[in-house]
Copies of this chain bind each other. A is one copy, B any other.
């Protein structure tokens, strides 16, 4: 594969690192960026730096947050006895859109993937167990996607939680298409999936 001239090649390589972006797509993105004005390009660069600088993980649930503790964890109206475990911040948004859930979240930041050797420690399962060990949680809803990795992760977590016999462990009832993605589920489907959640333990 031929390379572009250095400053453009560097940009192509950066885009190529984004999830699911192949070489040709990265080239398309990089060339489109050259068509922006100086000011627009600066805005793009600032957006990257700004997001990285101003966004952190909520200390409690690890959802993205501007503050040390996110608005959901900080709210007195949320029921801390019900903990919904999701893959990432987009899933929190999907669940919040539904407005059918008044508990709190735990954001894993990934899923177990034996092929990629993604270990339990890398996806905040120890943090989840520590939260449950504090004793306030009565139910853990495993809302990872109904994919191979999502199911594997849910089963693994359910096993780990068996050391807390008083905690109910449930999984979303997948009216959501098997193999699908929480983020793409419509609101009626997601509400039903939440209402009809199944007990795993």
Listed in ascending order, the chain A residues whose CB lies under 8 Å from chain B are: 2, 4-8, 10-11, 13-14, 18-21, 24-25, 27-36, 38, 41-55, 64-66, 88-90, 93, 96-97, 109, 183-184
* Bound-complex Cα distance A31 to B62 (A): 13
Partner among B28, B41, B49 whose Cβ is within 8 Å of the Cβ of A19: B28
Which B residues are CB-close (under 8 A) to A4? 64, 89, 93
Asked if A47 contacts B11 (CB within 8 A), the reply is yes
Asked if B41 contacts A10 (CB within 8 A), the reply is no
25 pairs of residues in contact across A and B, judged by CB atoms under 8 Å? A2-B93, A4-B64, A7-B54, A8-B55, A8-B64, A11-B50, A14-B43, A14-B44, A18-B28, A18-B32, A18-B33, A19-B29, A20-B25, A28-B90, A31-B88, A33-B48, A33-B51, A33-B52, A34-B51, A34-B55, A38-B52, A41-B49, A44-B48, A45-B45, A45-B48
* Bound-complex Cα distance A54 to B4 (A): 13
* Bound-complex Cα distance A24 to B19 (A): 12
* Bound-complex Cα distance A168 to B44 (A): 44
Most chain B CB neighbours (cut-off 10 Å) among A2, A51, A97: A51
CB distance from A150 to the nearest CB of B (A): 16
* Bound-complex Cα distance A2 to B88 (A): 15
CB distance from A91 to the nearest CB of B (A): 11
CB distance from A123 to the nearest CB of B (A): 12
Which B residues are CB-close (under 8 A) to A54? 7
CB distance from A154 to the nearest CB of B (A): 21
Which B residues are CB-close (under 8 A) to A41? 48-49, 52
* Bound-complex Cα distance A119 to B43 (A): 28
Asked if B10 contacts A183 (CB within 8 A), the reply is no
Asked if B34 contacts A64 (CB within 8 A), the reply is yes
* Nearest residue, chain B, Cβ from A109: B35
* Nearest residue, chain B, Cβ from A1: B97
